[in-house]
């Protein structure tokens, strides 16, 4: 190898070595872009929010929404006096309700509806630890998806992570609550009276399943309401972190 060829080879090696860090960084950036592992994102106001702030902010928002929803729904009249989530007469027995009201038993049917809602108010108290676990398990990917999602994204996340477990937890709680409010004291006479009427289809809906499902639906409706409030109403962002993340 002559001196000129040797010089060219040395120059080529130097150029390759200089390029390697850039190529490595490019590969790293491409990997981050492909997996969503960015160092920060921007909120609705264009302010940069770090990954850690996104995760902590969403957990705080979910915790706040869950606590408020449980507190509202588990209070006396939390279901019964809230038309958004009030549990009505079972759909399978709507004709029964109308028929009994027509024969002078409207007060009894209204008392029955009240007992259904009282059972739901007692059952939703058991949601707190299940929500807390799902919030703790939320990942960065979940947080970014929720933050960039629609106004019900956080509620949808909690529903997907907790619905089956909540139903399993609520069912015995509803069963006990229905016993405590003596549901059979109101339901059995109504059903017996109705089923003895001529030309009617006998009814006997599963009240435990019915109240459990409606209690879940009501709780998530309130949670979505709280989420929408935090997203849309600046005054609902009660910490500096929430203001930054949702600003």
Residue pLDDT, tens place only, 189-229: 878 888 888 888 887 767 888 899 999 999 999 999 999 99
The boundaries of the domain holding residue 32 are 1-37
Residues 11 and 80 both lie in one domain: no
Same domain, 18 and 104: no
Kindly state whether residues 127 and 33 are assigned to the same domain.
Answer: no
The pLDDT of residue 182 is 80
What value does the mean pLDDT of the chain take?
A: 82
Q: Domain check: are 74 and 125 in the same one?
A: yes
| Co-location of 32 and 118 in the same domain | no
Chain-centre distance of CA 230, in angstroms? Answer: 14
Count of domains observed in the chain: 2
What whole-number distance in Å separates Cα of residue 197 and Cα of residue 218? Answer: 34
Domain membership flag for residue 43: no
- For residues 67 and 96, the model is more confident at 67
Is residue 140, in this structure, part of any structural domain at all? Answer: yes
Q: Can you give the pLDDT at residue 217?
A: 96
Q: Indicate whether 42 belongs to any domain.
A: no
pLDDT of 156 over the 90 cut: yes
The Cα 247–Cα 232 span in angstroms is 9
Contact 137, 161 (CB under 8 A): yes
Confidence of residue 30 (pLDDT cuts 50, 70, 90): very low
Contact 56, 44 (CB under 8 A): no
């Amino acid at each position: 190898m002559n001196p000129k060829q040797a010089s060219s080879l040395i120059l080529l090696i130097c150029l390759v070595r200089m390029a390697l860090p850039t190529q490595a960084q490019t590969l790293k950036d491409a990997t981050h872009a492909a997996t969503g592992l960015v160092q920060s994102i921007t909120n609705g106001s264009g302010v940069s929010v770090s990954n850690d702030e996104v995760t902590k902010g969403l957990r705080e928002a979910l915790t706040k929404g869950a606590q408020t929803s449980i507190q509202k729904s588990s209070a006396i009249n939390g279901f019964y006096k809230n038309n958004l989530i009030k549990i009505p007469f079972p759909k399978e027995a709507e004709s029964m309700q109308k028929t009994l009201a027509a024969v002078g038993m409207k007060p009894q049917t209204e008392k029955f509806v009240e007992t259904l809602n009282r059972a739901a108010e007692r059952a939703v108290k058991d949601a707190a630890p299940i929500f807390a676990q799902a919030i703790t398990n939320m990942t960065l990917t979940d947080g970014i998806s929720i933050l960039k999602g629609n106004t019900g994204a956080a509620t949808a996340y909690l529903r997907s992570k907790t619905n089956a477990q909540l139903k399993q937890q609520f069912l015995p709680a509803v069963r006990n609550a229905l016993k405590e409010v003596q549901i059979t004291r109101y339901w059995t006479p109504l059903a017996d009276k109705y089923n003895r009427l001529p030309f009617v289809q006998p009814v006997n809906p599963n009240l435990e399943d019915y109240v459990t499902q409606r209690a879940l639906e009501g709780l998530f409706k309130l949670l979505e309401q709280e989420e929408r409030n935090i997203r849309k109403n600046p005054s609902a962002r009660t910490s500096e972190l929430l203001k930054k993340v949702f600003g």
